[in-house]
Amino acid sequence: MQEHPEAKQPKRRRHSAEFKAEAVKAAQQRGVSISAVALHYRLNANLLRRWICEAQMPLPQTQSVRRLAASSAEFVALPLPPMTSPITQEIVVELKRGDTTVTVRWPHSAAADCASWLQAWLR
C-alpha cells in the first residue's frame, strides 16, 4: 500500500534560543494571552507554555549539586536553645468534630498502643 503524499509527517522546526526568549518575553507581558502570542509567532500554545516554565526554572549547577551531595553525608551539630518547659511525659491527641473537642492523653511509654488506637479510629 502506497502512502499518500499529504500524509507525511511535517518536519519538526528548530527554534533558536533568541527566538524562544523573544516569544517568552512577549507572552509574559501584562494583559497578553499566551494563545495570542503563540498565534503571532506561529507556535503551539502548549509549546510556548513549556518554554515559559523552562525559562522560570533555575538552571542546575552541576558543581554545587556535587558539593551538596558530598557535604550531605557529613554531620553538622547545631546548637539548640535551652528548653524552657519540661518534656511532656505523655502523648496528647486532640480530636475535633464540629463543635465537639475530645482530648486523649496516653503515657509516653505506651506510644505503640496510642498509634494502633489512632490508626483504628481514623479508618
Domain parsing of the chain, residue ranges:
14-58, 90-122
Q: In this structure, are residues 90 and 105 in contact, taking their beta carbons and an 8 Å threshold?
A: yes
Q: What is the mean pLDDT of the chain?
A: 79
Percent of the chain with pLDDT over 70: 76
Residue-wise pLDDT for 62-100, tens only, equals 555 555 555 555 677 778 777 666 666 788 888 888 888
Q: Name the pTM for this structure.
A: 0.42
Cα distance between residue 43 and residue 37, in whole Å: 8
CA 68 to each of CA 58, 60, 72, 76: distance values in angstroms, whole numbers, following the listed order = 16, 12, 6, 13
